[in-house]
Homo-oligomer: A and B are copies of this chain.
Amino acid sequence: MAAAAKVFRARGFAAASLDEIAGNLGMSKGSLYNYVSSKEELLEAVVGPPAEELLSTLRGLAAMDLPASEKVRRVTRIHVSVLERTYDFAAVYLHEVAGRGLGEEWAAKDHAYVSLIEEVIASGVAEGLFAPDTDVLVSAMALIGALNWLTRWWHVEGAISASTIAERISDVFLAGLLVRSAAKEPPAPAG
């Protein structure tokens, strides 16, 4: 799985070959076929487990009795933590699969994930904690985009720790950039 994840990540799924993956493992393509029957099966084996882990943890979280703001913080922590532990695998999922219309099963996972985040945000609006004019879908996708973009710039071994990243992303989504004491942003100049 790790060898496949590295090749998928470096080459992209479409250009990756079972030959190269087998070669990196010091085995023939024929031997690799004893374990998997196709590149698609290998992709599913690589990205299925982190995707399932993320989904099942989020399902548990959504059902908990917590303020929505705390759920948003935990969503970002769970996401970053899965990313931290399964970086190469998650990067393949995010670069190759998420939102790219690869097939019904993946679309269903994407949809379940988005729905759980929407549910958390909608519950915050319902409980009066989040602004009543919150656009639930766009806010959910903005948060998901911010989290999923991490594989393009943040590295587990880098200067910013996973826990710091998670808190800072939560901060900006919950509190916004504007100072909290500002009643509203300054008016846009005319024109």
Contacts and interface: CB of A to CB of B under 8 A. Distances in A.
Interface of A: 11-15, 66-70, 72-73, 95, 98-100, 114, 121, 124, 128-135, 137-139, 141-154, 160, 165, 168-169, 171-180, 182-186, 188-189
A67 B152 contact: no
Contacts of A68: 177
Contacts of A13: 12
Tallying the copies of this chain within the complex gives: 2
Contact of A189 (B66, B173, B178): B66
Given A169-B138, A186-B69, A186-B129, A149 B148 contact: yes
A153 to B, nearest CB: 5
A138 to B, nearest CB: 4
A173 B176 contact: yes
Given A149-B144, A182-B129, A186-B129, A177 B12 contact: no
A178 B186 contact: no
B186 A67 contact: yes
A138 B100 contact: no
Ranked nearest first, the 4 interchain pairs of A and B with the lowest CB-CB distance are A145-B149, A99-B152, A176-B176, A14-B15
A14 B20 CA distance: 15
A146 B152 contact: no
Contacts of A168: 135, 138-139, 142
